[in-house]
């Protein structure tokens, strides 16, 4: 039987809830200290560029500070946008951060879904998937070899000494963000942990596809040391003293969140379909879980039951929620929601 575990995801949005960027970073570090104390497994941070959705465009800089503020909490990007990196430099930074954190780094990887963010950095959108695949192979080779040689279309390295080694053996775990069965099957073949989102019925298909595909002895497996991969389902969560109070805060926070997630797309006269501009719809779909502790507990338990996930990933900081509001929401979650959810056992 598998036991349900818990993570936190954060875009680190620029919001009206934080007076300035310095305060935003310190508030997030304060929250991470609380996640650490409460027994959250991992903190996952997004990487975005040129958008108010993400104020940590260099995840490693932020996470280096987080290493000094936490003791047990694992953390990492979800995801590193690999086409944005020079692979040798990223390998070195991963090794450094793994040691600075005492072996708590988790390495999420992806190509980036925003053509505008890629375009600002002169990365061809239609080449980005192939660049990602090459970069991932370079990354894995560099973390597992004493010398790196690779020859591809986008990268070429010859006999480069890998003087820095990760603390974790053979390397930090690889993760992948997925939205559908096709990308889930890809991630499962490579043995990566995954996190998905969306309505419970859709997330359940992702979880099922992963469980049907994953094999520990697959020769393509990038995480052969992982015996029970995490198959995560993400939910935006807001816990308040009453359903009414949570709904009031949630409606206002959603307006700011929607602006942040659509801002860059709207600048170019288009929209992303990831989140519709309808608070009631996303709540009804279960993507946003907002309410009193009992309501949130029941809805998350139902999501876990339907999806068969073994890893619930909460987004506590979103929209214009202040640090104090987020802290109260998490405290209620940790004290009145999580203990009951931890009793859930899932069939492997």
With beta carbons less than 8 A apart as the criterion, state whether 316 and 324 touch: no
Which pTM does this prediction carry?
A: 0.96
With beta carbons less than 8 A apart as the criterion, state whether 174 and 195 touch: no
CA-CA distance, 218 to 325, in Å (whole number)?
45
Q: What is the CA radius of gyration of the chain?
A: 19
pLDDT tens-digit profile of 36-89?
999 999 999 999 999 999 999 999 999 999 999 999 999 999 999 999 999 999
Confidence label for 276 from pLDDT (cuts 50, 70 and 90): confident
pLDDT over 70 (residue 328): yes
Supply the pLDDT for residue 344: 83
- CB-count exposure of residue 65 (10 Å: 0-12, 13-18, 19+): middle
pLDDT over 80 (residue 275): no
Supply the pLDDT for residue 3: 81
CA-CA distance, 262 to 253, in Å (whole number)?
14
Supply the pLDDT for residue 144: 97
Contacts of 316 (CB under 8 A, 6+ apart): 8, 10, 31, 237, 238, 326, 329, 330, 333
Per-residue burial over 164-187, b = 16 or more CB atoms within 10 Å of its CB, e = otherwise: ebbbbeebbbbbbbbeebebbbeb
CA-CA distance, 35 to 61, in Å (whole number)?
19
Structure tokens at 180: 């559908």
Task: Determine the distance from the C-alpha atom of residue 45 to the mean position of all C-alpha atoms in its chain, rounded to a whole number.
Answer: 5
Confidence label for 17 from pLDDT (cuts 50, 70 and 90): low
Supply the pLDDT for residue 345: 73
Task: Determine the distance from the C-alpha atom of residue 193 to the mean position of all C-alpha atoms in its chain, rounded to a whole number.
Answer: 11
Confidence label for 347 from pLDDT (cuts 50, 70 and 90): low
With beta carbons less than 8 A apart as the criterion, state whether 11 and 54 touch: yes
Domain ranges of the chain: 1-12+29-38+234-348
């Amino acid at each position: 039987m598998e036991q349900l575990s818990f993570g936190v995801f954060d875009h680190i949005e620029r919001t009206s809830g934080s007076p300035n960027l310095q305060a935003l970073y310190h508030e997030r570090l304060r929250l991470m200290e609380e996640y650490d104390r409460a027994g959250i497994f991992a903190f996952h941070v997004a990487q975005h560029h040129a958008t108010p959705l993400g104020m940590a465009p260099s995840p490693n800089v932020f996470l280096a500070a987080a290493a000094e503020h936490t003791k047990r909490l694992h953390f990492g990007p979800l995801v590193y946008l690999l086409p944005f990196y020079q692979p040798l430099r990223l390998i070195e930074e991963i090794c450094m951060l793994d040691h600075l954190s005492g072996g708590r780094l988790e390495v999420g990887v992806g190509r980036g879904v925003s053509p505008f963010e890629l375009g600002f950095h002169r990365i061809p959108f239609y080449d980005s998937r192939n660049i990602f695949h090459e970069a991932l192979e370079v990354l894995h080779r560099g973390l597992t070899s004493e010398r790196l040689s690779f020859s591809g279309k986008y990268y070429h390295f010859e006999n480069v000494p890998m003087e820095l080694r990760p603390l974790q053996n053979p390397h930090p775990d690889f993760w992948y963000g997925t939205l559908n069965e096709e990308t889930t099957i890809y991630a499962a073949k490579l043995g990566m942990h995954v996190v998905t989102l969306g309505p419970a019925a859709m997330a359940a298909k992702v979880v099922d596809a992963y469980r049907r595909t994953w094999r520990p002895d697959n020769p393509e497996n990038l995480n052969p040391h992982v015996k029970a991969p995490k198959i995560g389902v993400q939910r935006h969560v807001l816990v308040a003293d009453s359903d009414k109070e949570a709904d009031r805060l949630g409606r206002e926070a959603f307006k700011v969140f929607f602006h942040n997630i659509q801002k860059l797309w709207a600048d170019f006269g288009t929209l992303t379909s990831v989140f519709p501009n309808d608070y009631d719809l996303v709540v009804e779909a279960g993507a946003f879980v907002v309410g009193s502790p009992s309501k949130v507990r029941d809805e998350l338990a139902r999501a876990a039951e339907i999806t068969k996930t073994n890893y619930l990933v909460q987004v506590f900081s979103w929209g214009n929620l202040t640090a104090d509001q987020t802290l109260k929401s998490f405290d209620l979650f940790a004290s009145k929601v999580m203990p009951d959810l931890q009793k859930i056992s899932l069939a492997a």
